[in-house]
A and B are shown apart, each in its own frame.
Chain A
């Protein structure tokens, strides 16, 4: 366990190196992009600006400077906003977390029952339908689904807003308004995961049903329903818990696209915009934040896995 934690540090370092050099090596000068509209800027000014942000140092020096800053909690100043990069991201993190948690809740509430139900009714048309949905929900491009959802619910039916966090004129305390804005992106984000979950659950439930101890219970004469609901469900839930960790990963990556489509002011979309504008400090902070979340989620998953299934620990 401690070993795992220690393992995470070189991983994060490795990530930072990869991302750092990837961003710096790509063509394009952020200072030029940022100052583009200015008529009065001279070449000297650009040089001064680059020096101010430390961009004229050799790359390894820049990396070390960055790393030393990070150790102190300072991820540098955004080139666009001239405010602390980490602060800008943390400002927008709650929005992403809202979205991710809503999606997580939807996944479990909808995905688990679907999967178990399909396994219980194996071979029937319901099973087939859920099985197809399980695959189809995963096969649909999320951004396309988002676009279609907006057009259908927001533009044609006009029952839901098309984007953003809140309607103009309302504020955070208006829960109904917040939920109205949250439901569409959360659902689109969760869809692939709901599909995934239902397949997963179906497989696991089927596996559990086929296992020996269930057969033994059958032999003992226990009623089918009791057998399934008590034994199968309990065992099938094990992977649900462990898969939570992996799901965080999907959410972090998927949320970027959903945030784009729905103009949800979250950290994912902010990092993407920074990548386009070559705002290096924000890119580094954003990717490191996402990666750290991911690493933590893998750790949690591994821990849960070991705790919940003692057979794994013995390996």
Chain B
């Protein structure tokens, strides 16, 4: 059961995995609201955080999994970052300007940004990262740079350089990147890729030889230099990863001495260790709040998250044909008491979701239908759709009972409980639900492969600052026999397709995109391809002597300002 993967939610948005969370503009520091005026930050101490799985590969060019990215994100900073509170892109290792046509970005890297060995961070380092990733045979992110001019040719070995990236000959910290078309998510996805030190990794990529790559470089898991707040110290396989302070961090040396990631079995073990002090920082499940908030040694932070847990209704299903009818999907929205779910499943820690973008996101819409719990309305919609209640208490049409299976991944308590509650509630409006659990590893390929066995599913999306959700909602993201896709509810709506395309460019102004997403959310709210469920709050339990924590919705770990954290003795 202690399936480490099952505890993670889906990662959905472009570049979200490689993004470290945010800070305000480097020059100013807003004091966190909780900090008492009298306390002066002191250096020293270590943070011990728990993780359900060990890291796998520490080179961000070749890896993807959340745990490895969490660590490599502390070692390597990126050019752009995201404001933790607003989700807006902010300059980080560099500043940028965009050309009028939206196709060319010009970057200047921070003059005082250096690697931990003293060498300056230069434009070539970004190029090294792009080249290393393009030529890697094992990276899961092969297509991340597709829209950069010349990237595909370089990847295929047809070119010995990337034509779209030009480094300024007079200033090694300046460069420009030209895209093939104006693509709004590119800012975060392409420039969220952290530069890699050319003097370490440059030698592994040979422009003229497509067989040479960085995949097996020993420095991958033993990075000698860092650009982020911490540098790599030690990896005790299966047990701990130890990072130590990077004295030459461009925003000022962090106050903490060390950051340790410790592998723990599951959330029960993590809670037990939070209580004993073996862990000092950890994200926790809502079910643990009651117990952990009683501990004087711990403090709990909670904040709204843009991600959510939902019930997906598979349309065009050979067996569950009723999901094609919007009235049935809406009935299922009216027929479940989400307040009950919020209480029983999330222990009150969360907000109801009515469409794709959560209230914290700039792309969220207003005036949406909350589908307030109304059994009578639910049943009347079912009757409109032509269903009649049978003697067994369940609705049926043409001899076929309105019944289906909802599946979720085993090992995630929240989803399992959600499933139980949903099954029970739907029974009361005469809909027969068969709850089913499956191992995460077995369920994922069924979903992305469009396996018709899946009639309805409870699962979650982890959403970052990027508002684009093409891969979830566009009709081209529907799985086919030839290719997989994340639009596994088979939702097809031409207007949605158009709105998604608008959101991606060429006009990347916030106003245009916001307008498009407003309508997008309203349509989804009306159509109910998902019951949008609940956006569960992020809950962080920390030792009460840790100061400086100031969580924001767009920092999933709350660690966007970890270089400012300190421990009160």
Contact = CB atoms under 8 A, between A and B. Distances in A.
17 contacts: A28-B441, A28-B445, A33-B441, A33-B445, A34-B140, A37-B10, A39-B14, A40-B14, A45-B140, A82-B138, A92-B238, A161-B278, A162-B269, A166-B239, A168-B262, A263-B269, A277-B441
A40 B445 CA distance: 17
A45 B143 contact: yes
Nearest to B11: A37
B265 A39 contact: no
B62 A155 contact: no
A32 B445 contact: yes
B64 A276 contact: no
A179 interface: no
Contacts of A46: 484
Given A43-B484, A260-B2, 10 more contacts: A27-B445, A37-B17, A39-B16, A42-B483, A82-B62, A154-B276, A162-B269, A167-B278, A168-B240, A276-B439
B131 interface: no
B278 A40 contact: no
Given A33-B441, A37-B10, A167-B278, A82 B65 contact: no
Q: Which are the 6 A-B pairs with shortest beta-carbon distances? A: A265-B238, A43-B483, A37-B11, A35-B140, A45-B142, A38-B140
A263 B278 CA distance: 14
Interface size range on B against A: 35 or more
Interface of A: 27-29, 32-43, 45-46, 48-49, 52, 80-83, 88, 91-92, 95, 150-151, 154-155, 158, 161-169, 260-263, 265-266, 269-270, 273, 276-278
Contacts of A154: 272, 276
A208 B533 CA distance: 70
Interface in B409-449: 439, 441-442, 444-445, 448-449
Contacts of B3: 276
B141 A40 contact: yes
B263 interface: yes
Interface in B197-229: 215-216, 221
Nearest to B240: A168
Interface of B: 2-5, 10-17, 46, 48, 53-54, 56-57, 62, 64-66, 137-138, 140-144, 146, 189, 215-216, 221, 236-240, 260, 262-265, 269, 272-273, 275-276, 278, 439, 441-442, 444-445, 448-449, 471, 482-484
A263 B46 contact: no
B444 A32 contact: yes
B272 A27 contact: no
A278 B441 contact: yes
Question: Which of B48, B54, B56, B215 has the largest number of chain A CB atoms within 10 A?
Answer: B56
B137 A265 contact: no
Contacts of B265: 163, 260-263
Nearest to B279: A168
Contacts of B449: 32
Nearest to B138: A82
Nearest to B147: A40
A155 B484 contact: no
